[in-house]
Copies of this chain bind each other. A is one copy, B any other.
């Protein structure tokens, strides 16, 4: 099936990933090249979870979900698209939104 039929976004090529990362400060490609990661730090838990809540609303809406670990003011995020075994535009969209939500 084509993307239009499945709704599944295609896997990004490495050039497109590096192009996107250039606009996403603090984000890095995981060693296996299949995910991008960033650790966010906030003033306290309230701000960290406020951030997570804004991201969760996006995640629920676009049906694309982060892997994330939180303790107190720290949120460690991993983004990838399981269906394509790597990164898709959904990960870039989510990372871009996280940058806005964190600032």
Binding site for B on A (CB under 8 A): 45-46, 49, 52-53, 56, 59-60, 65-72
Report the bound CA distance from A69 to B70 in whole Å.
Answer: 6
Question: Which residues on the B side are within 8 Å of A45 (C-beta)?
Answer: 56, 59-60, 65
Are A56 and B60 neighbours in the complex by a CB distance under 8 Å? no
CB-contact partner of A69 in B46, B49, B69, B72, under 8 A: B69
The distance from the CB of A69 to the nearest CB of chain B, in whole angstroms, is 4
Report the bound CA distance from A65 to B72 in whole Å.
Answer: 6
For A67, the closest partner residue in chain B by CB is: B71
Question: Which residues on the B side are within 8 Å of A60 (C-beta)?
Answer: 45-46, 49
The distance from the CB of A94 to the nearest CB of chain B, in whole angstroms, is 13
